[in-house]
Structure 1
Amino acid sequence: MCYTFDFIDGDVYRWTPAGDDGPAAYDIDSTYRPRFYVRGPRETRAAYEQALEPHPSVAAVETVERRPGFGETYESMTLVAATAVDAVPTLARQANQVALPGELRCYNVDFSPEFRYCLETDTDPTPNTRLTTVEIHLPRARATDEELSRVTVDGETVRGSQATVVDAVATRVAERDPDVLFVNAAAVIPRLFAAARDEGRTLELGRGPHAATFQQLAGESAYHSYGQVGHSPARYNVPGRVVINRSASFFLDETNLAGCLDLVERSRKPLQEQAWASIGNVLTAIQIREAQRRDVLVQWRAWRPESWKTMGSLYTADRGGFTFSPNVGVHTDVHEVDFSSLYPNIIITRNISPETIRCDCCSTRDVPELGYSICDRAGYLPDVLAPLVSDRDAIKAQLSETTDLPERERLEGKSAALKWILVSCFGYQGFSNAKFGRIECHEAINAFARSILLDAKDQLEQAGWDVVHGLVDSLWVTPAPECDQRPLTAVCQDITDDVGIRLEYEGAFDWVAFVPKRDSAAGALTKYFGKYADPTADGSTYKYRGIECRQRSTPAFVASVQKELIRTFDQYRDPGPVIDNLAAHLEALHAGRADVADLVVSTRTSKPLSEYDQATQMVAALQRADSLYDDDPPAGGTVAYVVVDDDKRGRERVSLREEAPSTYDAGFYETALIRAATSVLAPCGWTQARIERALAETTETSLGRWA
């Protein structure tokens, strides 16, 4: 079973991993010709075909019958076969040179190379044996470094000359013959080859006849996603192996190798491409497979204008999911109920798909509030998602009966991978660059979700339960005073029967605290914490959402103290002991007893250093990194630092994590601790000012403390 593919000099090297039957092996496919399609008037396509005739990258041109979209019939198109995968976009762009804008439309253009090969040759890239691995970790190159002097290979650190480092990597790779190389940064591959070249050595990180070479598959770039800037590092390949950059693999970080391989099987996107892919990229690959099954092509640079709407209908449609402002405070005897995979199940049970929503053949008003029609014909999107939902339910059922730790880890990885795909399938319908998205689908799903949650709220209240909070697919309820309650499990079953989507009883809490917004008394929708009535399956006693200990930029010390303050609040149910506990931690902080390694602040950058005009701590950290390292911190990357003296200016305010600072600015971290404590006590009506007054009353201040 081939699991990775190299494109070298027009040939495709198809690699099978090492296994019980012997070492890794390859064969060469010299006949493969990647293809794309062009749609448009026959005369215009003829002009395009004529323009392609002398092009050296064109292997063949022919006329075929294909479906340009779901719900559309077969029509005549031009098939262009290229000599190499990297020639496809270039040839497709030539369509704009012989036609008016939009007159010719290209299909199946922007597929990643390995995925394209598997799709067009019907190759399953799922490994059928356990993959062997090697981990290579190089420190970031400093500006003062003249050569590479340290490497960590499979957890063992080697220090010495550059030649020693190169030999250590080469020896381990030769001994292990890994199917997968895990690296900690994109620059590892080119740095090792450059070091080997400087030492006059031949480094064979790959396999086969091209083992001593590497390829750059993509350069680094920045991207925007949901209002944030992300960084996509360069990607490299060595022949015969999969290279995975741990710092740039979302799915490997959120799941594990088993989860990644499960998505390989579902998407036919080979492991190396799957590892760097985004959620939407993998979801699109799964959708493309369904499109291929239905003989439907994938439009390049898809353009789907939004259907006309009145101002009133736009106001009604342009809303999000269900939100119910929480009752700020501490509530006892709280129960949480959640709809299982609500949005995917809405898509499946309501037959929501780009080609079914607002169709021309049906006039029934199916979507609540909006009055959109939904076609009776089965949509492709439900067919894509139904197996994912059912398979995840089956995996969760297996998990509940499995105690074997390795098997649990495998199942948890697969479940988490499917969860991320299902979480994003709804939002992706509203993404302008989605291959198969449509904004009306996004609006319809939200409309159904609001209706379902409101109906569930009404039924719960009629059964004697007060709803204290509701968000998207979850409701939190407590027994209504002076009312008889029907059992929640029975109410959930009734709602499940009515809706056709399972409403699950998630569990009971001794208490839940809903946190107000910082600038008003209204409840913050996503900030709450509470104590489970019984520990969960993973041993958790408390649940935290939205508060500082759940935020990636919060130092570990602050997060740990906040959790301890919550435990103190749980024990005494009174702000006084919480203030005493906070005061003790502040005293230890000012006495220098906090571990500096736990004070690291991690922040994502949004642009290059030169474009910042405010002298923030993050800018100081970027200035410091710029002076220490060869490469500039990228936009969308992460910078990690400790605030050492916030009163200073410029890069002296902070030290980078890798500098292993020994001092810190206690005043800065005191402010962060008090802010975290405010989140804990705000449900009790305590403000930050009141906490500071209480600290002043309970803490014996001396000059020595501030020294």
Structure 2
Amino acid sequence: MPFAFDFDDGAVVEWSKTPDGVESRRVTDYAPAMYLAGPEEALESLESPVAARGDVAAVSWDRKFTGLDADERALVLRIEAKDPRGVPALAGGVRESLLADLPPGRVRAYDVDLAPGFRYCLDTGASPAPAEPLETVRFDLPEKALADGDLSALSVDGSEAATERDALDVAAARLDERDPDVLVVSDAGVLSLLAERAVDFGADVPLGRRPGLERLAGENTVESYGRVLHSPARYAVPGRAVVDVGSSFLWAESRLDGLLYLVERSWRPLSEAAWASIGTVLTSMQTREARARDVLVPWNKRRPESFKSVETLHAADRGGFTFDPEVGLHENVVEVDFASLYPRIICEYNVSPDTVLCDCHAGRSDVPELGYNVCDERGFLADVLEPLLEDRRDLKDEARAAEAAGDEERAAAARHRAGAIKWVLVSCFGYQGYRNAKFGRIECHEAINAVARDLLLRAKETAEEAGWRVVHGIVDSLWVTRDAADADPPEEIAARVSEAADVPLEVEDAYEWVCFVPKRGSNRGALTRYFGKVADRDEYKVRGIEARQRSTPAFVEEVQRELIEAVGRHRAPEPVCDRLARHRARLRRGDVSAEELARTARVSRPAGEYRRDTLVAAAVRRAERRGLSRAPGQDVRYVVTDADGDGIDRVRLDFEAPSDYDAAFYDDALLRAAESVLSPFGWDRGRIRRYLRPGRDATLAAFE
């Protein structure tokens, strides 16, 4: 089975791993196709003009389903492109030159924006999952060195060199020795720099199994769910897959084992899966299932929301159910949650774009609150997600068995694969409400939420009837504490709820104690801010507060975690404040390294477009001054040296190895972190400051 695909002069080259090495096969007769659907007379008028285009190999007629809930196949125009990667450009040309004169929506295009390797696998039935283990070589280069074009800092599988020429020699030797199938790089730009320096020095560095380095796409900035994200340039080398770890969320979460699992399930080749988002991988899985059903994939989704009464709209326009947490410290708390709640609702309740509000069961009320009917025929989404749920269950069992047998390598591989599945399952629900999701439908999103709210309320009622009190609940989880001496065991409650709901409710954790944190400036509990000590384990669970925020400096995180442990030992705010005092003194004395105080921020706009002189703006401008431009969506790391100063001298970038810092600024950050820990006791920053005023008497906790 091929694991890498090259597109070369109108042909596709497959690269397959065998027990004896690597084989290649050149395919010259592959022509990808797009489709046009609409009234027959409109398609007939387009047939000749489309066929006359120079980038079209052939035009023919076919019959396909144009929607998941279509009752019969429609007559469509099949248009084959000459270039194996030419469908998107062909579709753009057809739209601009031929469809622009037609009424909007009269003719619609399908199977247009599929990644070329993924499309080839679907069209030819060639699974991109490798049949043999893949060899890898890793190239790491510090970001500043890459920006400066300095290859001397290159690390090849951990081996470093003193000069650029030495780095090239080390890279060439490792490539020759390992003949890798996958190049794992800290940034894809490292490949371009290696190729440039090889030419400069007249060195032979075989990045690919054949000569050539192709830039597939330039860097780009995108916005997703209100967040600005950066997409770096992408490169391809012949005969090898490329994984850019700096831009691959999937690599960060699941490593090569998890990526290869998603390759097997989605049929996106490794290089394309590595740079894809979770939503893109999920769409690929859905596209593969749609192909199996002979359903075309729309280029632009045009499925309007169904008409709803005001009452239904009000009931539908809600999210998951939440209970205000009881602010404060609670002893002996049990957390129960529904395992993979949303995907299991999709599977168990058959919620899918082709089943919700079907015509064949109109008038039936299957979804609580909303009254939507759901078809009895098995839905499209269930076929996509159920294998993932089954695999995740089996992989978690495998990981536990491997750990018990002392096989950590096998356990890690199973955990990575299960982790990859987790992220796809997490995104499947939100994607139903995403406006650009190929197979999304807002009514599915609403139905899933309605069922989830009903299940959580029923779980709450069952727990209360069994002698427990709910102290917090959100979407798929409840935190309960014993309210009666003869309360039923939580495992029995979970079993009863699971049987009634057809969705497993599990005991997630038992806590010796847990603190629910209030919103800042309010007495009401924050839904996602809490911390607590897990029972019978030397482990603390922390959510929402500074220790879990990516911008928090390592020093502040470490102190906050220490303060949380002090809460567990003393159950009182005063000893916690005394521990804080020791760290504030360290900070003022200059005993904290600047490296521990580096903050991480995501850049939201180009350096020249910041309107306010914030610390982030200063860091971005300083990076640009130092030759390290930061695009929107990228991160910048900096140490605050003078928060009240002006311009770029307020900060130093992490690679500048700053020797000093603004102690007052970081003291405020410590107090903010301490407030998160002590606010469940009713202490705010003002009270903390008053307690720590000079001349106070410290408790013994200060000297632990």
| TM-score of the two chains, using structure 1 as the length reference | 0.95
**Distance in 2 separating the partners of 1:308 and 1:384:** 28
Cα deviations across residues 148-173 of structure 1 (Å, max 9, x unaligned)? 4331111112121x433333322322
Q: Are 1:347 and 1:381, in contact at CA under 8 Å, matched by a contact in 2?
A: yes
Counterpart among 646, 661, 666 of residue 649 in structure 1: 646
Write the distance in 1 (CA, Å) between the matches of 2:413 and 2:202: 43
TM-aligned CA distance change 1:575 to 1:147, over 3 Å: closer
Shift of 1:458: 0.8
CA contact (8 A) 1:583 1:699 kept: no
Residue 318 of structure 2 corresponds to 319
Give matches, 1:111-510, under 5 Å.
111-141=114-144, 145=148, 148-160=151-163, 162-208=164-210, 211=211, 213-362=212-361, 363-403=363-403, 404-480=407-483, 482=484, 484-510=486-512
Query: Hey, what's the Cα distance between the residues in 1 that align with 2:274 and 2:394?
Result: 24
Name the amino acid aligned to 1:284.
T
Q: Which moved more, 1:141-150 or 1:390-399?
A: 141-150
2:196 & 2:626 partners in 1: Cα distance?
Answer: 20
Residue identity over aligned pairs, in percent, reads 48
Matches of 1:494 and 1:190, distance apart in 2: 59
Q: Per-residue displacement from partner, 1:271-307 (whole Å, max 9, x unpaired)?
A: 1111111111010111111111111111111111111
Deviations 1:288-341 (CA, angstroms, capped at 9, x unpaired): 111111111111111111112233322211110111110000000101111111
Shifted more, 52-61 versus 245-254: the winner is 52-61
In structure 2, the CA distance between the partners of 1:560 and 1:146, relative to structure 1 (3 Å rule), is: closer
SS in 2 for 1:256: helix
Could you tell me how far 1:141 is from its partner in structure 2? 4.9
- Is the CA contact (8 Å cut-off) linking 1:114 and 1:269 kept in structure 2? yes
Distance 1:224 1:700 in 2: 53
Shift of 1:242: 0.8
Q: Which runs of 5+ in 1 are unaligned?
A: 702-707
Q: CA deviation at 1:627?
A: 0.8
Query: Separation in 2 of the partners of 1:145 and 1:351?
Result: 55
Deviations 1:205-249 (A, max 9, x none): 1013xx2x1111111111112221110111101111111111100
The one-letter code matched in structure 1 to 2:467 is G
* Residue matched to 1:689: 686
SS at match of 1:3: strand
1:43 alignment counterpart = 41
- Rounded to whole Å, the distance in 2 between the matches of 1:462 and 1:144 is 63
Q: Does the CA-based 8 Å contact 2:459-2:497 persist in structure 1?
A: yes
Match of 1:705 in 2: none
Instruction: Say whether residues 1:578 and 2:576 are aligned partners.
Output: yes
Q: Which moved more, 1:142-151 or 1:292-301?
A: 142-151
Counterpart for residue 540 of structure 2: 542
Q: Which residue is equivalent to 2:669?
A: 672
CA distance in 2, matches of 1:145, 1:221: 21
Higher mean alpha-carbon deviation, 387-396 vs 95-104, is at 95-104
Would the alpha carbon gap of residues 312 and 611 (structure 1) be closer, same or farther in structure 2, given more than 3 Å must change?
farther
Query: Could you tell me whether the CA contact under 8 Å between 1:48 and 1:95 is conserved in 2?
Result: no
Aligned 8 A contact 1:144 1:628 in 2: no
Matches of 1:144 and 1:109, distance apart in 2: 36
Residue pair 1:4, 1:15 contacting (<8 A) in 2 also:
yes
- Asked if structure 2 preserves the Cα contact closer than 8 Å seen for 1:143 and 1:628, the reply is no
For structure 2, the residue ranges without an aligned partner over 5 or more in a row are 699-704
Indicate conservation of the 8 Å contact 2:172/2:204, yes or no.
no
Give the CA RMSD over aligned residues.
Answer: 1.7
Taking the aligned partners of 2:672 and 2:621, their CA distance within structure 1 comes to: 27
Q: Distance in 2 between matches of 1:663 and 1:130?
A: 49
Residue identity matched to 1:530: G
The corresponding residue for 1:704 is none
Deviations 1:138-191 (A, max 9, x none): 23356995754331111112121x433333322322222111111111311222
Distance 1:492-1:698 versus aligned 2 partners, 3 A rule? farther
Deviation string, structure 1 residues 100-154 (Cα, Å, up to 9, x no partner): 2211111111000110010100011111211111111223356995754331111
Show the counterpart of 2:67. 69
Q: Among residues 655, 660, 663, which one is paired with 1:663 in the alignment?
A: 660
The runs of at least 4 aligned residues of structure 1 exceeding 4 Å deviation read 141-147, 697-701
Letter of the 1:500 partner, please give it: D
C-alpha distance in 1 between matches for 2:167 and 2:501: 62
For the 8 Å contact 2:399–2:412, the answer to whether it is kept is no
Q: Is the 8 A contact 1:620 1:654 kept in 2?
A: yes
Deviation at 1:595, TM superposition (A): 2.2
Give the whole-Å Cα distance in 1 for the aligned partners of 2:147 and 2:88.
Answer: 41
Is this contact kept in 2: 1:96–1:104, CA < 8 A? no
Question: Could you tell me whether the CA contact under 8 Å between 1:107 and 1:298 is conserved in 2?
Answer: yes
The aligned counterpart of 2:702 is none
Measure, in 1, the Cα distance between the counterparts of 2:556 and 2:155.
31
Deviation track 1:5-27 (CA, whole Å, cap 9, x = no partner) reads 0001111111123x5413x2211
Q: Do the aligned residues in 1 keep the contact of 2:289 with 2:384 (CA within 8 Å)?
A: yes
Letter in 1 for 2:397: A
In 2, the alpha carbon distance for the partners of 1:308 and 1:484 equals 50
Give the SS at the match of 2:418. Answer: helix
Q: 1:443 to 1:146 in 2, by over 3 A?
A: closer
Aligned length: 689
Paired letter, 2:91: A
Tell me how far apart the structure 2 counterparts of residues 341 and 280 of structure 1 sit (CA, whole Å): 17
Task: Give the drift of 1:49.
Answer: 2.0
The alpha-carbon distance between structure 1 residues 144 and 68, as it changes in their structure 2 partners (threshold 3 A), is: closer
Amino acid across the alignment from 2:536: D
Q: Matches of 2:149 and 2:552 in 1, distance apart?
A: 35
